[in-house]
């Protein structure tokens, strides 16, 4: 009889952030390495199962489940049918890049040619912290509090937009180099949600397309349509052509240009 040892399960990398591509390793007993996994690969807005297989490794046979998650917290994998038995209740923990003390964060190693989703915003935050502090001290001496606050808000807005424009260019270069288009759209969705979270102060990473459409002081009609169309392409199960990917990147560029105007 096949058995999964949940106590011996581990993930590669050990700490997985939203948008990362990772692998869950579960020790198996009573099942051959070539046993069939009959469950279809599972996709949802929260998690995508890319591949599942029984592999022979040092120490015995392991069930390996390769996945990407787009919701922080404790997520449960779909039931898997292995060697005639159904296994459910397998849970994974996904960390949020925006949550917690940034000084304690350790980013997992990149599993793709693309940078880790959210990297551009984290780099911007860490590099600009000293600059912002200096500006606060200088501004407090020469300007009033209200004027300084308005100036800093405008400066932060420009820096966020500039950072996201750089991400859009990076994804275009990745597309030209032949990176998998679905992975580019996964990174685009995650990076854009992170940008909106920093820009609006709302937890956009956990929002649906309809909820993002309701953000105040933003172009809700565009944002709702953008994320709905992006998810439709990513989770359609069919091939993604270069024109679809370029169209999504072009829509993002026009939106950012409008914000910067």
* Residues 102-152 pLDDT 10s: 434 444 444 445 555 555 556 656 666 667 777 666 666 565 666 767 778
Q: Write the secondary structure of the chain as one string of H (helix), E (strand) and C (coil).
A: CCEECHHHCEEECCCCECCCEEEEEEEEECCCCCCCECCCCCECCCEEEEEEEEEEECCEEEEEEEEEECCCEEEECCCEEECCEEECCCEEEEECCCCCCHHHCCCCCCCCCCCCCCHHHHHHHHHHHHHHHHHHHHHHHHCCHHHHHHHHHHHHHHHHHHHHHHHHHHHHHHHHCCCCHHHHHHHHHHHHHHHHHHHHCCCHHHCCHHHHCCCCCCCHHHHHHHHHHHHHHHCCCCCCCHHHHHHHHHHHHHHHHHHHC
Residue ranges covered by each domain of the chain: 3-94, 112-260
pLDDT tens-digit readout, 155-173: 888 998 999 999 999 999 9
| pLDDT for the residue 128 | 66
Task: Classify domain 3-94 at the CATH topology level.
Answer: Immunoglobulin-like (2.60.40)
């Amino acid at each position: 009889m096949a058995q999964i040892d949940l106590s011996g399960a581990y993930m590669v990398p050990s700490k997985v952030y939203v948008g990362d591509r990772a692998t869950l390793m579960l020790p198996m007993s009573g099942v051959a390495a070539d046993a069939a996994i009959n469950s279809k690969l599972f996709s949802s807005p929260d998690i995508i199962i890319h591949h599942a297989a029984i592999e022979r490794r040092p120490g015995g046979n392991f069930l390996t489940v390769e996945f990407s998650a787009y919701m922080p917290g404790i997520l449960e994998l779909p039931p898997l049918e292995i060697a005639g038995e159904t296994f459910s209740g397998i849970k994974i923990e996904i960390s949020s890049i925006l949550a917690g003390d940034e000084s304690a964060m350790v980013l997992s190693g990149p599993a793709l040619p693309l940078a880790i989703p959210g990297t551009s915003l984290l780099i911007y935050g860490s590099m600009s912290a000293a600059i912002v502090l200096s500006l606060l001290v200088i501004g407090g001496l020469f300007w009033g509090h209200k004027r300084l606050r308005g100036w800093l808000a405008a400066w932060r807005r420009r820096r966020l937009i500039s950072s996201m424009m750089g991400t859009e260019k990076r994804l275009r270069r990745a597309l030209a180099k032949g990176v998998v288009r679905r992975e580019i759209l996964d990174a685009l969705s995650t990076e854009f949600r992170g940008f909106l979270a920093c820009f609006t102060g709302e937890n956009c990473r956990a929002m649906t397309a309809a909820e993002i459409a309701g953000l105040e002081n933003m172009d809700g009609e565009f944002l709702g349509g953008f994320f709905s169309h992006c998810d439709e392409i990513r989770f359609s199960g069919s091939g993604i052509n270069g024109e679809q990917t370029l169209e999504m990147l072009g829509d993002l560029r026009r939106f950012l240009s409008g914000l910067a105007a």
